[in-house]
């Protein structure tokens, strides 16, 4: 049997940092990712949509942790693409899909060249610039990763290089394993009286008085005779709120979450035992925060948290917490 950890997820102090045109974050396992933003100080040519591109760099934790570089072009590139930093060609790959991914030695060369560069471009087989990424702040972001992964002063660092061997870098952490109850059974029916009681327990009481239509309560079987009920509690242009309740028989109580969430969720969904919340800061989804949870029979346990505090074009929200659900 796996040892299933029961402690609440440890909170991180300000896990996301912005440096120039980049944002970086490291999760609880010391895995780190940085993602590009729309240029802040640099002028953006009106006829050049290549600035609409974005890019991420991830580095795994541990002495042998390598890089993955992914570039999302403004328009899907064709043929063989070449990645350039300033005037130098660094790596090439075959185009395919919505993004181009570099790993291994190619990714390592790209990252090594970033701190001293001004702009990264992706040129497709026809010679067209399919992506243009500002590198302002990339050096500081890579230094942030060096520090958070314990690489500063070692030969594995990119910016904060030193002579210490790779063995001086802390080993990667294993994710917490969360005991999760596999959904089963039939969800309970939410009566008018039960809904009225749920509304009195939340900030939703009277919210829909006089409305022409009232959204239904969504309900899902959790297993063990319990039901998850998502009580509607208002909506905006691109976010809708709901409060999570757990029903057992005729009793409804606000759901308990191990990360301090009070049960107010945004754009909530429940699928295959995973409860999700996705709060967009803007309609295009280039900033906000998200969480996923599983039910352990008593409370909802956090399995992933992502954040993007900068509304500057990146829909690649950065992970700050990860755990592995183990369903039973």
pLDDT by position in tens, the chain (length 328): 333 434 456 545 578 999 999 999 999 999 999 999 998 755 545 545 567 899 999 999 999 999 999 999 987 887 899 999 998 999 999 987 789 999 999 999 999 999 999 999 999 888 888 899 999 999 999 999 999 999 999 999 999 999 999 999 999 999 999 999 999 999 999 999 999 999 999 989 999 988 888 999 999 999 999 999 999 999 989 999 999 999 998 899 999 999 999 999 999 999 999 999 999 999 999 999 999 999 999 999 999 999 999 999 999 999 999 999 999 9
Rounded to whole angstroms, how far apart are CA atoms 112 and 292? 34
Rounded to whole angstroms, how far apart are CA atoms 122 and 133? 9
Please give the pLDDT value at position 3: 38
Query: Token digits for 104?
Result: 């291994």
Report the DSSP beta bridge partners of residue 180. Answer: 327
Distance set, CA 254 to CA 7, 67, 198 (Å): 21, 42, 8
Give the strands of the sheet with 32-36, arranged side by side.
16-19, 22-26, 32-36, 54-59, 67-72, 99-103
Residue 304 · residue 319 · CB < 8 Å: yes
User: Which residues have CB under 8 Å from 48's CB, separation 6+?
Assistant: 129, 132
Please give the pLDDT value at position 286: 93
Please give the pLDDT value at position 8: 53
105-142 b/e (C-beta count within 10 Å ≥ 16 → b)? ebbbbbbebbeebebbbbbbeeeebbbbbbbbbbbbbb
State the sign of the Cα–Cα–Cα–Cα dihedral 141, 143, 144, 145: positive
Please give the pLDDT value at position 18: 97
């Amino acid at each position: 049997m796996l040892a299933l950890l029961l402690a609440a997820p440890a909170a991180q102090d300000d896990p996301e940092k912005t440096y120039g045109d980049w944002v970086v974050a490291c999760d609880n396992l010391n895995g780190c990712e940085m993602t590009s933003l729309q240029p802040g100080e640099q002028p953006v040519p009106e006829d050049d949509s290549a600035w609409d591109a974005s890019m991420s760099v991830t580095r795994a934790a541990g002495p042998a942790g390598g890089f993955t570089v992914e570039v999302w072009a403004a328009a899907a590139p064709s043929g063989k693409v070449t990645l350039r930093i300033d005037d130098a060609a660094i790596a090439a790959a075959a185009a395919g899909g919505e993004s181009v991914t570099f790993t291994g030695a190619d990714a390592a060369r790209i990252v090594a060249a970033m701190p001293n560069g001004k702009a990264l471009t992706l040129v497709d087989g026809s010679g067209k610039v399919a992506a243009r990424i500002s590198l302002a702040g990339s050096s500081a972001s890579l230094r942030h990763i060096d520090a958070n992964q314990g690489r500063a002063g070692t030969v594995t660092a990119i910016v904060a290089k030193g002579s210490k061997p790779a063995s001086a870098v802390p080993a990667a952490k294993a994710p917490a394993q969360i005991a999760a109850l596999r959904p089963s059974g039939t969800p309970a029916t939410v009566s008018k009286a039960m809904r009225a009681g749920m509304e009195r327990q939340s900030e939703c009481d009277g919210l829909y008085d006089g409305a022409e239509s009232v959204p239904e309560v969504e309900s899902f079987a959790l297993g063990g005779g319990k039901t998850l009920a998502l009580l509607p509690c208002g909506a905006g242009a691109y976010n809708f709120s709901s409060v999570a309740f757990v029903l057992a028989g005729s009793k409804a109580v606000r759901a308990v979450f191990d990360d301090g969430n009070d049960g107010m969720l945004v754009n909530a969904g429940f699928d295959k035992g995973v409860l999700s919340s996705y709060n967009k800061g803007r309609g295009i989804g280039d900033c906000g925060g998200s969480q996923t949870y599983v039910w352990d029979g008593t409370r909802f346990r956090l399995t992933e948290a992502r954040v993007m505090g900068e509304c500057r074009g990146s829909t690649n929200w950065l992970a700050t917490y990860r755990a592995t659900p183990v369903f039973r």
